[in-house]
Amino acid sequence: MATGVPKKGSGDNGCHSTPELTYDGKASVAQVVDTKAAEIKCLWKGEGGSQNGLYFGENLGILAQLMEEPNIKGKVRLVYIDPPFSTQSSFYSRKQQHAYEDTRVGAEYVEFLRRRIILLAELLANDGSLYVHLDEKMVFHMKIVLDEIFGAGNYRNCIVRKKCNPKNYTRKKYGNIVDYILFYTKSGNYVWRKPIEPWTKRRAKEYQYIEEGTGRRYMKVPLHAPGVRNGQTGKPWRGMTPPPGKHWQYLPSKLEEMDARGEIYWSASGNPRRKVYLDESGGVGVQDVWLDFRDAHNQNVRITGYPTEKNPDLLRRIIEASSEPGDIILDCFCGSGTTLAVAHELGRRWIGVDNSVEAIQTTIERFLKGTEPMGDFVNGKKGNDSTRGGERLLFESFKNEVGGKKIQEHRPILEFQMFGVVERARELDHVLARWKGEVTGMHKQQGVRLSQF
């Protein structure tokens, strides 16, 4: 396989600036940062004095309001957003309740999302990360915008996620089964807990060599890495220089220590390679193609029924990789509350924002009761009498499982405060009344007296 030699840019015209999108209505960064903060009122105080917050209202003004909070601005460790995809569609829940409109297109869409990302960048800690979930329609536009906001050097990955099973297309095009997650960081020094996948028997076969005397399995990997260095790692070691355009991965002194421990393999031609032992590896590092986090597509899945709901395991991977327990996680398009629920489960603090009454109602219902199995028979669509017993048995067999694995009993999430933009807070009156009634009833059943109302 051909290998390129990294070199600094040397374009013919000497232009090395980051490309930008230009369109009418593009506000300056200063104008966006100066966005007027929304007036917020507390709708529910929650329990335990928690700083977790669920906000109802247009997210631009709410993000501007969060910019005025010294315990939030510059303190958010991770942002994940799954914004509208510019589908020019209306979305409804499985119960046919209107969830949201996705009608912005072109420059209007780009500027809508750009302004929010500028504020999110301000809220991020210097070692924080941003994940933006998009599909093929706008991901390339937003890659340019994100390079502009965060700097191209802080781009980390464009993750490809398999979102569904293969489609039997009749149209003259390839089946569309993936979407994308753009991963950026605020700086080069960011929180990173490397995710790994356990070794399978097939992958373990890559450790094909057995060390004499110890019997340990190992693989051979290069001792050099791309990039020219002028320091010790770029100089000869034992009379050998790194290949052109590369450098030693370790200082010569470290290489000597490794060789003394027998951790370097020398070929017959005198080429050194590092031994990587199977028993020292917990698994293989996760790559940028994710095949295991498809959206709900069969009955053995627990969901809320909110449109475009994402797989909790997808959020679990992102949160565990780019944050630590106690960190603040922010999702300003929180929808059904998947990000918030998983962050809570993993011991993170969280902030969620959404502009949809249906989203807020779905989220707090999820907080109280968890998710439910998906399937027609759950909604009462049964066949004839001879099949009812089998359907009920099937329901009972997986109602507490996901993918054949037992799930933990849901613990209600009550440790948060709920806020609303003042001029729209009344839209949640019926949602709050139901929520408070259900929480009060639950506590009465448990013999607990409430004081937060």
DSSP 251-284: -HHHHHHHHHTT-EEE-TT--EEEEEEGGG--SE
Q: Once rounded to an integer, what is the mean pLDDT over residues 338-345?
A: 96
User: Other CB atoms closer than 10 Å to residue 388's CB: what's the count?
Assistant: 12
Q: What is the DSSP letter of 240?
A: B
If you average pLDDT over residues 311-339, what whole number do you get?
A: 96
Distance CA 228, CA 244 (A): 8
Confidence band of 444 (pLDDT split at 50, 70, 90): confident
| Among 1-15, 380-394, 420-434, the least confident range | 380-394
Contact, 221 vs 250, CB < 8 A? no
Side chain identity at residue 321, one-letter code: A
Residue 112 φ then ψ, to 5°: -55, -50
Q: Are residues 34 and 151 in the same domain?
A: yes
Strands 53-56 and 349-354: parallel
Instruction: Say which CATH number the domain at 91 has.
Output: 3.40.50.150
* Residue 7 pLDDT level (bands cut at 50, 70, 90): low
Asked whether residue 239 falls in the same domain as residue 268, the answer is yes
Tally of structural domains, the chain:
2
Residue partners of 88: CB distance under 8 A and separation at least 6: 102, 103, 105
Note whether residue 211 is domain-resident.
yes
pLDDT at position 451 is: 42
**What's the pLDDT at 450?**
44
Q: Mind listing the pLDDT tens digit for each residue in 32-62? A: 999 999 999 999 998 777 889 999 999 999 9
Q: For residue 267, is it within any domain?
A: yes
Amino acid identity of residue 340, one-letter, is L
Residue owning tokens 């007036």 = 39
Residues 99 and 220 in one domain: no
- From residue 324, alpha-carbon distances to 156, 233, 253, 341, 349 in Å are 19, 33, 34, 16, 10
Mean predicted confidence (pLDDT) in 246-257 = 93
Q: How far is CA 167 from the centre of its chain?
A: 25
452 assigned to some structural domain: no
Long-range contacts of 374-380 (CB under 8 A, 24+ apart): 374/296, 374/298, 374/299, 374/301, 374/302, 374/303, 374/305, 375/299
Angle, CA 331 vertex, CA 328 and CA 337 arms, to 5°? 105
Average pLDDT for 376-382: 45
Query: CA–CA separation, 82 vs 91, rounded Å?
Result: 14
pTM of the model: 0.81
How does residue 397 score in pLDDT terms, banded at 50, 70 and 90? very low
Q: Assess whether 312 and 254 both reside in one domain.
A: no
Taking the C-alpha atoms of residue 88 and residue 102, their distance in angstroms, rounded to an integer, is: 5
In a domain, 100, yes or no: yes
Sign of CA dihedral 210, 214, 215, 218: negative
Are 405 and 351 in the same domain? yes
Last residue of a domain, one of 234, 259, 284: 284
Tell me whether residue 11 is in a domain: no
Last residue of a domain, one of 227, 260, 284: 284
Q: Which structural domain, as residue segments, surrounds residue 333?
A: 29-195+286-377+389-446
Same domain, 360 and 401: yes
Residue at a domain's end among 248, 267, 284: 284
Mark whether 213 and 237 lie in a shared domain. yes
How sure is the predictor about 166, in pLDDT bands with cuts at 50, 70 and 90?
confident
Same domain, 33 and 152: yes
| 311 and 212 within one domain | no
Two structure tokens written together for 288: 């940028």
**Same domain (yes/no): 224, 323:** no
In a domain, 325, yes or no: yes
Q: Tokens 């209505």 — which residue? A: 25
Q: What is the pLDDT of residue 406?
A: 56
What is the per-residue pLDDT across 75-124, written as a single tens digit (0 to 9) for each? Answer: 999 999 999 867 666 666 666 676 667 678 899 999 999 999 999 999 99
